[in-house]
Amino acid sequence: MTSDRARRGKGSEVHGIFQKIAGYYDRMNFVMTLGRHEKWCREVAARVAPVRGGQLLDLATGTGVIALEAARRHPTVTVTGVDFSEEMLRRAKAKPGAGAVRWQHADAASLPFEDEFFDGITEGYLLRNVEDLDRVLREQHRVLKPGGRLVILETCPPSGLVEPVMKWGMRVVVPLLGQVVARDRSSYSYLESSTRAFESPQSIAGALRGLGFKDIGWRKKFFGTNVILWATKGD
């Protein structure tokens, strides 16, 4: 079992990385996905489909791409964007339309919200960066209302015929892009390794099913290196 000290150590390391990369996070996402990242974020915001006048939580909001799109797409919904990186939140708050979102600094493993408070939850690239995946998913289940939808944008390890080529590309190209675009090879070496080591969509779906989620599905993107996964909390 991982000790609390080890969890805090990894949490501090990941927090430091995201504090460091906040200034070029959007640019690197654009480059690494060949411009597809914002389209995926729009799909996430559309799929969550919260009820009119409801509450929507965007976890690991980062620079707010999903949260801002959700606020535009669902103008009657109260959108709350949460992140553990203060610098990411500062960047999000400076974007056009940021006043339509409630921004909050919080840890996804211990959310400061009441049970069954939100009608929908979205998140982008959260799960691969947490120490206790089950705990984070349990927190999402706790704060989501029955019948509410969870929509996840995440990386996933490549598989199938393209697996060797994509693994080589991720191992070599992603850190190189970090060096060229952001002058930061080490942070993107971590992000590349966390992608290759992360769970498959089938594994995440199994964890969600075990918590009581239903109607689970996913769609892979970009040669299987990214995935949008969705699920509904059971009654």
Provide the residue type at 142 as one letter.
R
Tokens of 146: 């029955």
Strand order in the sheet with 118-124: 101-105, 78-83, 55-59, 118-124, 144-155, 226-233, 213-221
71 C-beta neighbours (distance < 10 Å), count: 23
Phi, psi of 17 (to 5 degrees): -65, -45
Query: Which residues are part of a known binding site?
Result: 63, 83, 107-108
How far apart, in whole angstroms, are the C-alpha atoms of residue 67 and residue 87?
Answer: 16
Q: Is the dihedral of CA 10, 11, 14, 17 positive or negative?
A: negative
Query: Which residues are part of a known binding site for S-adenosyl-L-methionine?
Result: 63, 83, 107-108
- Find the angle CA(98)-CA(101)-CA(102) to the nearest 5 degrees: 120
Pairing of strands 226-233, 144-155: antiparallel
Go through 36-46 and write b for each residue having 16 or more CB atoms within 10 A of its CB, e for each that does not. ebeebbbbbbe
| Strand-pair partners of 232 | 149, 214
Tokens of 234: 């059971």
Give 231's DSSP letter. Answer: E
